Amino acid sequence: MRMPAAMLATMALAGCALAPAPARPPATMDTPAAAQPSPTAATAATAGGTSTDADHAAGFAAWRAAFAAQALAGGIRPDTVRDVLGNAQWQPRVVELDRAQPEFTRTPWAYLDSAVSAQRIAQGQATLAEHQATLDAAAARYGVPATVITAIWGIESNYGSNFGSLRTVDALATLAYDGRRRAWAQSELLAALRIIDAGDIAADRMIGSWAGAMGHTQFLPSVFLAYAVDADGDGHRNIWGSIPDVAASTAHFLARYGWRANEPWGAEVQLPPSFDHTRADLGVRQSTAQWEAEGVRPLDGQRLPSLASASIVCPGGARGPAFVVGANFRTILRYNNSVNYALAVALLSQQIGGGAAIAGAWPRDLEPLTRTQMQALQEALNRNGFSAGTPDGVMGPATRAGLRAFQRSVGVAQDGYPTQELLQRLQAP
């Protein structure tokens, strides 16, 4: 006879109050103290009064007991529910970070200055040399260049020096109880418990960021279950301590999402003076031969790389550098859906391998719009008949389309890049 999940949950958690608290991650894996989530940070006041950490902790404990039934029903072993979920700890700083909406945005050049710094390039070259055989083995197995694997490693965790210090179960349990995406966090928490159940890693060694990303190349638990690889043959998939597993898992993810061996990510290009910047969009795809026929030229005076389905991207608008990008660039976007991120990986891998840096100049005189200013721009676009969707202070496809329509109306390059000048023109009486 099958015991009801609720009864099993009660039994599984019955001894939790007496169980010793799990050990914290070792200090060598900590990020600088100023950047660390503080486990003692006070929670914000609510409309109904001031909620203390003790209030939240009590609610968290009740939620944890209820979630145990779902974990058991999902096939998690009772001892894992008792010893791991039962010892999950409320982390108020995780909630603060999840709810935070930064007022200031970063320009593409500010992001790339940091992500593809001279120090990171040099360290990437040293890391590649140190682990050459391991990275080459992953490259040969999955067709993803060792330089690309190394670049992702560098951007995600600075080559393993900073991949977070929070227990993943704590972070995800906190988000599942009190986060913006509770259903998602619950699903990832169940995935994390399955990883522990399978014996790949102990709960106290499963550490990562406040948002649940884990290990050297920041896999979410669900991604780990689908793509992590035991490359060193020890019977465990260990993206925290085994560099062969880290390299192979990262390459496997990219390969499964369509990485094309022996095809470049793209190249920096020179656009013709008459280029229509509404076509600088990842949704506009054609062969590089067709782009070349339209006057798009590589900076080195040779031919464009042969790409069957290529797009033009101009992250800094019409005044900034332009790039032709292909299928592998889009695959990098599956790792992190940000053009700036994908460009950082592409350029870092290129320079780790001895290739060129960006030749074009960024429009560094352009100040970024704050979130409040971006919302004002969206409101002004809507008010003037250029639909930008719901004003939320975040640049998205609807805002870009509305901004391009406004740019067309005033006879300037339709690059959809938000500037202080455009905001002032929109707000002018």
Lowest mean pLDDT among 42-46, 101-105, 415-419: 42-46
Residues 366 and 420: their CA atoms lie apart, in Å, by 8
pLDDT for the residue numbered 39: 27
pLDDT for the residue numbered 412: 96
Burial code of 166-202, b = ≥16 C-beta within 10 A, e = fewer?
bbbbbbbbbbbbbbeeeebbbbbbbbbbbbbbeebbe
The pLDDT confidence band at residue 50, using thresholds 50, 70 and 90, is: low
Residues 33 and 28: their CA atoms lie apart, in Å, by 12
* pLDDT digits 0-9 by tens, 114-130: 999 999 999 999 999 99
pLDDT for the residue numbered 180: 87
Residues 94 and 97: their CA atoms lie apart, in Å, by 5
Express as a percent the part of the chain with pLDDT over 70. Answer: 88
The pLDDT confidence band at residue 32, using thresholds 50, 70 and 90, is: very low
Residues 271 and 309: their CA atoms lie apart, in Å, by 18
Give the pairing of strands 266-270 and 207-208. Answer: unpaired
* pLDDT digits 0-9 by tens, 283-311: 999 999 999 999 999 987 778 999 999 99
pLDDT for the residue numbered 209: 96
* pLDDT digits 0-9 by tens, 145-203: 999 999 999 999 999 999 999 999 999 999 999 978 999 999 999 999 999 999 999 99
* pLDDT digits 0-9 by tens, 237-256: 999 999 999 999 999 999 99
The pLDDT confidence band at residue 49, using thresholds 50, 70 and 90, is: very low
Q: What is the mean pLDDT of the segment spanning 306-334?
A: 97
* pLDDT digits 0-9 by tens, 71-94: 999 999 999 999 999 999 999 999
pLDDT for the residue numbered 51: 61
Find tokens 């689908």 and name the residue: 226
pLDDT for the residue numbered 100: 86
pLDDT for the residue numbered 429: 86
Q: What is the mean pLDDT of the segment spanning 49-75?
A: 85
Which domains occur in the chain, in start order? 54-101+164-242 (1.10.8.350), 371-427 (no CATH)
Give the pairing of strands 166-167 and 207-208. Answer: antiparallel
